[in-house]
Structure 1
Amino acid sequence: MLRVRDIMTTSVVTISGSATVADAVKVMKEKGLRALIVEPRSDRDPYGIVTETDVIYKVAAYGNDPKKMRVFEIMTKPCITMQPNLGVEYAARLFANTRTRRAPVIEGKLLGIVSVSDILRKSDVAEEQVQLFLEDRIDAAREDAREICAAKGKTSPECAAAWDIVEELQAAASHKRQSKVTPNNSLQEYCAANPDAPECRIYED
Protein backbone atom coordinates (compact mmCIF):
# COMPACT_ATOMS: atom_id res chain seq x y z
CA MET A 1 0.00 0.00 0.00
CA LEU A 2 1.25 3.44 -0.87
CA ARG A 3 1.75 5.78 2.03
CA VAL A 4 1.48 9.52 2.38
CA ARG A 5 5.25 9.93 2.22
CA ASP A 6 5.20 8.35 -1.25
CA ILE A 7 2.86 10.93 -2.76
CA MET A 8 3.33 14.09 -0.69
CA THR A 9 4.93 17.28 -2.01
CA THR A 10 8.09 18.01 -0.05
CA SER A 11 8.53 21.63 -1.13
CA VAL A 12 6.15 23.42 1.21
CA VAL A 13 5.60 27.17 1.23
CA THR A 14 4.82 28.61 4.66
CA ILE A 15 3.71 32.00 5.91
CA SER A 16 3.50 33.72 9.26
CA GLY A 17 0.12 34.19 10.89
CA SER A 18 0.97 37.86 11.37
CA ALA A 19 1.42 38.43 7.64
CA THR A 20 -1.30 40.33 5.84
CA VAL A 21 -3.81 38.54 3.67
CA ALA A 22 -2.47 40.58 0.76
CA ASP A 23 0.97 39.08 1.39
CA ALA A 24 -0.53 35.59 1.39
CA VAL A 25 -2.36 36.21 -1.89
CA LYS A 26 0.85 37.52 -3.46
CA VAL A 27 2.75 34.38 -2.47
CA MET A 28 -0.05 32.13 -3.75
CA LYS A 29 -0.01 33.90 -7.11
CA GLU A 30 3.78 33.85 -7.42
CA LYS A 31 4.06 30.16 -6.50
CA GLY A 32 0.87 29.01 -8.23
CA LEU A 33 -0.55 27.61 -4.99
CA ARG A 34 -4.05 27.32 -3.58
CA ALA A 35 -2.99 27.14 0.07
CA LEU A 36 -0.16 28.05 2.42
CA ILE A 37 0.87 26.38 5.66
CA VAL A 38 0.87 28.82 8.58
CA GLU A 39 3.98 28.58 10.72
CA PRO A 40 3.53 27.78 14.44
CA ARG A 41 4.56 30.48 16.87
CA SER A 42 6.38 28.02 19.12
CA ASP A 43 7.22 24.33 19.45
CA ARG A 44 3.92 23.73 21.24
CA ASP A 45 1.83 25.75 18.81
CA PRO A 46 -0.02 23.75 16.11
CA TYR A 47 0.27 24.33 12.40
CA GLY A 48 -2.43 26.18 10.53
CA ILE A 49 -3.47 26.53 6.92
CA VAL A 50 -4.85 29.38 4.83
CA THR A 51 -6.46 28.70 1.46
CA GLU A 52 -7.71 30.69 -1.48
CA THR A 53 -11.23 29.76 -0.34
CA ASP A 54 -10.55 31.48 2.99
CA VAL A 55 -9.54 34.62 1.12
CA ILE A 56 -12.65 34.60 -1.07
CA TYR A 57 -15.18 33.62 1.60
CA LYS A 58 -13.83 35.63 4.51
CA VAL A 59 -12.24 38.66 2.90
CA ALA A 60 -13.40 39.38 -0.64
CA ALA A 61 -17.02 38.36 -0.01
CA TYR A 62 -17.35 40.97 2.72
CA GLY A 63 -15.33 43.73 1.08
CA ASN A 64 -12.62 43.55 3.73
CA ASP A 65 -9.23 45.09 3.01
CA PRO A 66 -6.65 42.30 2.51
CA LYS A 67 -3.86 44.77 3.32
CA LYS A 68 -5.29 45.30 6.79
CA MET A 69 -6.48 41.80 7.67
CA ARG A 70 -3.97 39.28 8.98
CA VAL A 71 -3.62 35.64 8.06
CA PHE A 72 -4.41 34.50 11.61
CA GLU A 73 -7.87 36.10 11.27
CA ILE A 74 -8.96 33.82 8.44
CA MET A 75 -6.81 30.68 8.71
CA THR A 76 -7.82 27.27 10.04
CA LYS A 77 -5.87 26.37 13.17
CA PRO A 78 -5.19 23.75 14.25
CA CYS A 79 -5.58 22.15 10.84
CA ILE A 80 -5.90 18.50 9.86
CA THR A 81 -2.42 16.94 9.73
CA MET A 82 -1.14 13.57 8.55
CA GLN A 83 1.78 11.35 9.41
CA PRO A 84 4.07 10.17 6.59
CA ASN A 85 3.42 6.47 7.28
CA LEU A 86 -0.35 6.79 6.95
CA GLY A 87 -1.74 4.64 4.13
CA VAL A 88 -3.17 6.49 1.14
CA GLU A 89 -6.56 4.82 1.63
CA TYR A 90 -6.78 6.16 5.17
CA ALA A 91 -5.59 9.58 4.05
CA ALA A 92 -8.42 9.63 1.50
CA ARG A 93 -10.90 8.60 4.18
CA LEU A 94 -9.66 11.39 6.45
CA PHE A 95 -10.11 13.92 3.65
CA ALA A 96 -13.60 12.58 2.99
CA ASN A 97 -14.70 12.61 6.62
CA THR A 98 -13.37 16.09 7.33
CA ARG A 99 -14.29 17.55 3.92
CA THR A 100 -10.78 18.97 3.56
CA ARG A 101 -8.62 18.81 0.45
CA ARG A 102 -5.06 19.19 1.69
CA ALA A 103 -3.06 18.73 4.88
CA PRO A 104 0.51 19.23 6.09
CA VAL A 105 2.53 16.07 6.71
CA ILE A 106 4.17 16.22 10.11
CA GLU A 107 6.40 13.91 12.12
CA GLY A 108 8.11 16.05 14.69
CA LYS A 109 8.57 18.68 12.01
CA LEU A 110 6.95 19.74 8.76
CA LEU A 111 7.89 17.22 6.06
CA GLY A 112 5.55 18.10 3.24
CA ILE A 113 1.97 18.60 2.17
CA VAL A 114 -0.51 16.14 0.66
CA SER A 115 -3.72 16.87 -1.21
CA VAL A 116 -6.66 15.12 -2.82
CA SER A 117 -5.02 15.86 -6.16
CA ASP A 118 -1.87 14.00 -5.06
CA ILE A 119 -3.95 10.92 -4.26
CA LEU A 120 -5.60 10.97 -7.66
CA ARG A 121 -2.45 11.67 -9.67
CA LYS A 122 0.18 9.68 -7.81
CA SER A 123 -1.63 6.56 -6.63
CA ASP A 124 -3.61 3.82 -8.31
CA VAL A 125 -7.09 4.67 -7.09
CA ALA A 126 -8.65 1.47 -8.44
CA GLU A 127 -5.98 -0.82 -7.00
CA GLU A 128 -5.93 0.87 -3.62
CA GLN A 129 -9.74 1.09 -3.52
CA VAL A 130 -9.54 4.70 -2.41
CA GLN A 131 -12.98 6.20 -1.89
CA LEU A 132 -13.27 9.93 -2.41
CA PHE A 133 -16.19 12.27 -2.45
CA LEU A 134 -17.15 12.96 -6.04
CA GLU A 135 -16.99 16.67 -5.29
CA ASP A 136 -13.37 16.29 -4.24
CA ARG A 137 -12.58 14.43 -7.44
CA ILE A 138 -14.12 17.26 -9.44
CA ASP A 139 -12.02 19.86 -7.60
CA ALA A 140 -8.85 17.83 -8.14
CA ALA A 141 -9.64 17.32 -11.84
CA ARG A 142 -10.34 21.04 -12.23
CA GLU A 143 -7.01 21.86 -10.58
CA ASP A 144 -5.23 19.43 -12.92
CA ALA A 145 -6.95 20.95 -15.95
CA ARG A 146 -5.79 24.43 -15.00
CA GLU A 147 -2.20 23.23 -14.63
CA ILE A 148 -2.27 21.34 -17.93
CA CYS A 149 -3.76 24.30 -19.80
CA ALA A 150 -1.18 26.66 -18.30
CA ALA A 151 1.63 24.34 -19.40
CA LYS A 152 0.30 23.18 -22.79
CA GLY A 153 -1.84 26.13 -23.83
CA LYS A 154 -5.55 26.80 -23.64
CA THR A 155 -6.14 25.58 -27.21
CA SER A 156 -4.10 22.38 -26.91
CA PRO A 157 -5.67 18.90 -27.19
CA GLU A 158 -4.32 18.09 -23.71
CA CYS A 159 -6.18 21.07 -22.26
CA ALA A 160 -9.42 20.08 -23.98
CA ALA A 161 -9.09 16.48 -22.78
CA ALA A 162 -8.47 17.61 -19.20
CA TRP A 163 -11.63 19.71 -19.16
CA ASP A 164 -13.57 16.83 -20.71
CA ILE A 165 -12.71 14.83 -17.59
CA VAL A 166 -14.06 17.63 -15.41
CA GLU A 167 -17.30 17.70 -17.39
CA GLU A 168 -17.71 13.93 -17.11
CA LEU A 169 -17.29 14.06 -13.35
CA GLN A 170 -19.75 16.95 -13.08
CA ALA A 171 -22.27 14.99 -15.14
CA ALA A 172 -21.81 11.98 -12.88
CA ALA A 173 -22.34 14.16 -9.81
CA SER A 174 -25.49 15.66 -11.30
CA HIS A 175 -26.85 12.21 -12.12
CA LYS A 176 -26.07 11.00 -8.62
CA ARG A 177 -27.95 13.91 -7.05
CA GLN A 178 -30.98 13.26 -9.25
CA SER A 179 -31.02 9.52 -8.66
CA LYS A 180 -33.52 8.53 -6.03
CA VAL A 181 -34.78 5.17 -4.88
CA THR A 182 -38.35 4.67 -6.00
CA PRO A 183 -40.45 3.40 -3.10
CA ASN A 184 -42.29 0.10 -3.57
CA ASN A 185 -45.87 0.42 -4.75
CA SER A 186 -48.68 -1.63 -3.22
CA LEU A 187 -48.38 -4.46 -5.79
CA GLN A 188 -44.66 -4.82 -5.16
CA GLU A 189 -45.29 -4.96 -1.45
CA TYR A 190 -47.97 -7.59 -2.00
CA CYS A 191 -45.64 -9.68 -4.16
CA ALA A 192 -42.88 -9.43 -1.60
CA ALA A 193 -45.23 -11.07 0.88
CA ASN A 194 -46.77 -13.47 -1.69
CA PRO A 195 -44.05 -14.37 -4.21
CA ASP A 196 -45.99 -17.36 -5.62
CA ALA A 197 -49.06 -15.35 -6.59
CA PRO A 198 -49.72 -15.47 -10.39
CA GLU A 199 -49.95 -11.70 -10.70
CA CYS A 200 -46.46 -11.40 -9.32
CA ARG A 201 -44.75 -13.28 -12.14
CA ILE A 202 -44.15 -10.04 -14.01
CA TYR A 203 -41.44 -9.30 -11.48
CA GLU A 204 -39.60 -12.53 -12.22
CA ASP A 205 -36.42 -12.43 -14.31
Structure 2
Amino acid sequence: MRAKEIMTQDVVTVKGSATVAEAVRLMRLRGLRSLIVEPRTPEDAYGIVTETDIAAKVVAYGKDPQDTYIYEIMTKPCIVVNPDLGIEYVARLFANTGIWRAPVIQGELLGVISVTDIITKGDFTETPKIHFLKKELHKAISNARSIAASMGEDSLEAIEAWETVDEIEAEACFHGMPKLDRSSREQFADNGVANELVTAGSQQ
Protein backbone atom coordinates (compact mmCIF):
# COMPACT_ATOMS: atom_id res chain seq x y z
CA MET A 1 0.00 0.00 0.00
CA ARG A 2 1.03 3.58 -0.60
CA ALA A 3 0.75 6.69 1.52
CA LYS A 4 -2.10 8.08 -0.58
CA GLU A 5 -4.20 4.99 0.12
CA ILE A 6 -4.20 5.35 3.90
CA MET A 7 -3.63 9.08 4.50
CA THR A 8 -6.27 11.32 6.05
CA GLN A 9 -7.52 13.60 3.31
CA ASP A 10 -9.47 16.00 5.51
CA VAL A 11 -6.55 18.25 6.39
CA VAL A 12 -6.90 21.12 8.83
CA THR A 13 -4.44 23.96 8.44
CA VAL A 14 -3.53 26.98 10.51
CA LYS A 15 -1.61 30.18 9.82
CA GLY A 16 1.74 30.75 11.45
CA SER A 17 0.39 34.04 12.78
CA ALA A 18 -2.39 32.30 14.74
CA THR A 19 -2.08 32.13 18.50
CA VAL A 20 -1.51 28.84 20.29
CA ALA A 21 -4.87 29.33 22.01
CA GLU A 22 -6.60 29.48 18.62
CA ALA A 23 -4.77 26.36 17.47
CA VAL A 24 -5.71 24.47 20.63
CA ARG A 25 -9.39 25.37 20.19
CA LEU A 26 -9.23 24.10 16.61
CA MET A 27 -7.49 20.89 17.63
CA ARG A 28 -10.06 20.23 20.35
CA LEU A 29 -12.96 20.98 18.02
CA ARG A 30 -11.70 18.62 15.31
CA GLY A 31 -10.17 15.99 17.60
CA LEU A 32 -6.68 16.45 16.12
CA ARG A 33 -3.17 15.96 17.43
CA SER A 34 -1.48 18.25 14.94
CA LEU A 35 -2.13 21.02 12.45
CA ILE A 36 -0.40 21.78 9.17
CA VAL A 37 0.93 25.33 9.01
CA GLU A 38 0.12 27.06 5.75
CA PRO A 39 2.97 28.49 3.66
CA ARG A 40 2.94 32.29 3.44
CA THR A 41 3.81 32.35 -0.27
CA PRO A 42 3.92 29.80 -3.12
CA GLU A 43 7.68 29.51 -2.60
CA ASP A 44 7.38 29.05 1.16
CA ALA A 45 7.49 25.69 2.94
CA TYR A 46 4.78 23.92 4.88
CA GLY A 47 5.15 23.61 8.62
CA ILE A 48 3.57 21.50 11.33
CA VAL A 49 2.60 22.10 14.94
CA THR A 50 1.77 19.17 17.19
CA GLU A 51 0.31 18.62 20.62
CA THR A 52 3.83 17.79 21.78
CA ASP A 53 5.06 21.19 20.59
CA ILE A 54 2.33 22.89 22.58
CA ALA A 55 2.92 20.84 25.72
CA ALA A 56 6.72 21.05 25.62
CA LYS A 57 7.16 24.64 24.46
CA VAL A 58 4.17 26.43 25.93
CA VAL A 59 2.55 24.54 28.80
CA ALA A 60 5.84 23.34 30.30
CA TYR A 61 7.13 26.90 30.58
CA GLY A 62 3.91 28.48 31.74
CA LYS A 63 3.63 30.68 28.64
CA ASP A 64 0.38 32.44 27.83
CA PRO A 65 -1.26 30.63 24.86
CA GLN A 66 -3.08 33.85 24.01
CA ASP A 67 0.23 35.64 23.57
CA THR A 68 2.30 32.86 21.97
CA TYR A 69 2.17 32.35 18.23
CA ILE A 70 2.35 29.22 16.11
CA TYR A 71 5.41 30.45 14.23
CA GLU A 72 7.30 30.45 17.55
CA ILE A 73 6.81 26.74 18.24
CA MET A 74 6.16 25.07 14.88
CA THR A 75 8.56 22.92 12.87
CA LYS A 76 9.28 24.45 9.48
CA PRO A 77 10.07 23.20 6.96
CA CYS A 78 8.56 19.92 8.06
CA ILE A 79 9.28 16.48 6.70
CA VAL A 80 6.84 15.65 3.91
CA VAL A 81 5.78 12.36 2.33
CA ASN A 82 5.28 11.62 -1.36
CA PRO A 83 1.81 10.14 -1.96
CA ASP A 84 3.29 7.19 -3.90
CA LEU A 85 5.71 6.19 -1.12
CA GLY A 86 5.11 2.66 0.18
CA ILE A 87 3.91 2.53 3.78
CA GLU A 88 6.95 0.51 4.88
CA TYR A 89 9.14 3.41 3.78
CA VAL A 90 6.88 5.90 5.54
CA ALA A 91 7.23 3.83 8.71
CA ARG A 92 11.01 3.75 8.25
CA LEU A 93 11.07 7.52 7.70
CA PHE A 94 9.11 8.04 10.92
CA ALA A 95 11.42 5.71 12.84
CA ASN A 96 14.58 7.38 11.52
CA THR A 97 13.39 10.92 12.23
CA GLY A 98 11.38 10.37 15.41
CA ILE A 99 8.22 11.96 14.02
CA TRP A 100 4.71 10.52 14.22
CA ARG A 101 2.90 12.27 11.39
CA ALA A 102 3.68 14.25 8.25
CA PRO A 103 1.83 16.04 5.45
CA VAL A 104 1.46 14.24 2.14
CA ILE A 105 2.47 16.66 -0.58
CA GLN A 106 2.94 16.51 -4.34
CA GLY A 107 2.76 20.01 -5.67
CA GLU A 108 -0.03 20.69 -3.22
CA LEU A 109 -1.20 19.48 0.17
CA LEU A 110 -3.08 16.21 -0.35
CA GLY A 111 -3.43 14.85 3.16
CA VAL A 112 -1.71 13.85 6.38
CA ILE A 113 -0.32 10.43 7.26
CA SER A 114 0.44 9.23 10.76
CA VAL A 115 1.68 6.17 12.61
CA THR A 116 -1.95 5.55 13.56
CA ASP A 117 -2.92 5.45 9.86
CA ILE A 118 -0.19 2.87 9.20
CA ILE A 119 -1.31 0.64 12.06
CA THR A 120 -5.07 0.92 11.55
CA LYS A 121 -5.30 1.08 7.75
CA GLY A 122 -2.15 -0.65 6.49
CA ASP A 123 -2.16 -4.15 5.03
CA PHE A 124 1.18 -5.21 6.50
CA THR A 125 -0.38 -7.97 8.63
CA GLU A 126 -2.11 -9.58 5.63
CA THR A 127 0.64 -9.01 3.07
CA PRO A 128 4.03 -8.58 4.71
CA LYS A 129 6.54 -6.79 2.52
CA ILE A 130 8.91 -9.76 2.53
CA HIS A 131 6.32 -11.95 0.77
CA PHE A 132 5.81 -9.34 -1.92
CA LEU A 133 9.57 -8.92 -2.40
CA LYS A 134 10.15 -12.65 -2.75
CA LYS A 135 7.58 -12.80 -5.56
CA GLU A 136 9.10 -9.73 -7.23
CA LEU A 137 12.57 -11.25 -6.92
CA HIS A 138 11.46 -14.48 -8.56
CA LYS A 139 9.92 -12.57 -11.48
CA ALA A 140 12.98 -10.32 -11.83
CA ILE A 141 15.36 -13.29 -11.94
CA SER A 142 13.26 -15.03 -14.59
CA ASN A 143 13.17 -11.83 -16.62
CA ALA A 144 16.93 -11.27 -16.34
CA ARG A 145 17.70 -14.85 -17.40
CA SER A 146 15.36 -14.54 -20.37
CA ILE A 147 16.93 -11.26 -21.51
CA ALA A 148 20.45 -12.63 -21.07
CA ALA A 149 19.56 -15.71 -23.13
CA SER A 150 17.96 -13.75 -25.95
CA MET A 151 20.12 -10.59 -26.07
CA GLY A 152 23.39 -11.77 -24.57
CA GLU A 153 24.73 -11.69 -21.03
CA ASP A 154 26.82 -8.58 -21.74
CA SER A 155 24.01 -6.60 -23.36
CA LEU A 156 22.91 -3.36 -21.72
CA GLU A 157 19.42 -4.78 -21.28
CA ALA A 158 20.74 -7.82 -19.43
CA ILE A 159 22.98 -5.71 -17.21
CA GLU A 160 20.07 -3.45 -16.28
CA ALA A 161 17.83 -6.46 -15.61
CA TRP A 162 20.39 -7.99 -13.25
CA GLU A 163 20.83 -4.65 -11.51
CA THR A 164 17.11 -4.73 -10.81
CA VAL A 165 17.54 -8.21 -9.35
CA ASP A 166 20.37 -6.96 -7.13
CA GLU A 167 18.23 -4.09 -5.83
CA ILE A 168 15.23 -6.30 -5.01
CA GLU A 169 17.48 -8.91 -3.43
CA ALA A 170 19.12 -6.29 -1.21
CA GLU A 171 15.74 -4.93 -0.16
CA ALA A 172 14.45 -8.43 0.60
CA CYS A 173 17.49 -9.11 2.78
CA PHE A 174 16.83 -5.87 4.63
CA HIS A 175 13.31 -7.10 5.35
CA GLY A 176 14.52 -10.41 6.74
CA MET A 177 15.24 -12.78 3.86
CA PRO A 178 18.36 -14.84 4.68
CA LYS A 179 21.35 -13.55 2.77
CA LEU A 180 22.69 -15.98 0.19
CA ASP A 181 26.37 -16.88 0.02
CA ARG A 182 26.26 -15.86 -3.63
CA SER A 183 23.78 -13.47 -5.20
CA SER A 184 21.32 -14.57 -7.89
CA ARG A 185 23.45 -12.77 -10.47
CA GLU A 186 26.62 -14.59 -9.31
CA GLN A 187 24.83 -17.93 -9.35
CA PHE A 188 23.67 -17.28 -12.89
CA ALA A 189 27.21 -16.37 -13.92
CA ASP A 190 28.57 -19.51 -12.23
CA ASN A 191 26.10 -21.68 -14.16
CA GLY A 192 27.17 -20.02 -17.38
CA VAL A 193 30.84 -20.77 -16.70
CA ALA A 194 29.99 -24.36 -15.78
CA ASN A 195 28.07 -24.82 -19.03
CA GLU A 196 30.98 -23.42 -21.02
CA LEU A 197 33.37 -25.86 -19.34
CA VAL A 198 31.07 -28.79 -20.10
CA THR A 199 30.76 -27.71 -23.74
CA ALA A 200 34.52 -27.25 -24.08
CA GLY A 201 35.17 -30.67 -22.52
CA SER A 202 32.78 -32.42 -24.88
CA GLN A 203 34.50 -30.89 -27.91
CA GLN A 204 37.97 -32.15 -26.96
Query: What interval of TM-score do these two structures reach, taking the shorter chain for normalisation?
Result: 0.5 to 0.7
Tell me the CA shift for residue 124 of structure 1.
Answer: 2.1
Contact 1:105 1:113 in 2 (8 A): yes
Structure 1 CA distance for aligned equivalents of residues 99 and 37 of structure 2: 16
Tell me the CA shift for residue 70 of structure 1.
Answer: 0.3
TM-score, normalising length from structure 1? 0.61
Matched, 1:111 2:77: no
User: Corresponding residue for 1:200?
Assistant: none
Cα deviation code 1:100-155 (max 9, x no counterpart) = 0000000000000000000001112333349xxxxxxxxxxxxxxxxxxxxxxxxx
Contact 1:89 1:128 in 2 (8 A): no
User: Corresponding residue for 1:17?
Assistant: 16
The residue type equivalent to 1:20 in the other structure is T
Tell me the CA shift for residue 81 of structure 1.
Answer: 0.3
The residue type equivalent to 1:59 in the other structure is V
Tell me the CA shift for residue 34 of structure 1.
Answer: 0.4
User: Corresponding residue for 1:128?
Assistant: 128
User: Corresponding residue for 2:46?
Assistant: 47
The residue type equivalent to 2:61 in the other structure is Y
**4+ residue runs of structure 1 moved beyond 3 angstroms?**
none
Matched, 1:83 2:82: yes
Tell me the CA shift for residue 35 of structure 1.
Answer: 0.2
Contact 1:102 1:116 in 2 (8 A): yes
Structure 2 CA distance for aligned equivalents of residues 128 and 115 of structure 1: 19
Structure 1 CA distance for aligned equivalents of residues 61 and 50 of structure 2: 16
How many residues matched? 129
User: Corresponding residue for 1:99?
Assistant: 98
Structure 1 unmatched ranges of 5 or more: 131-205
Structure 2 unmatched ranges of 5 or more: 131-204
The residue type equivalent to 1:128 in the other structure is P
User: Corresponding residue for 2:133?
Assistant: none
Identity of aligned residues (%): 59
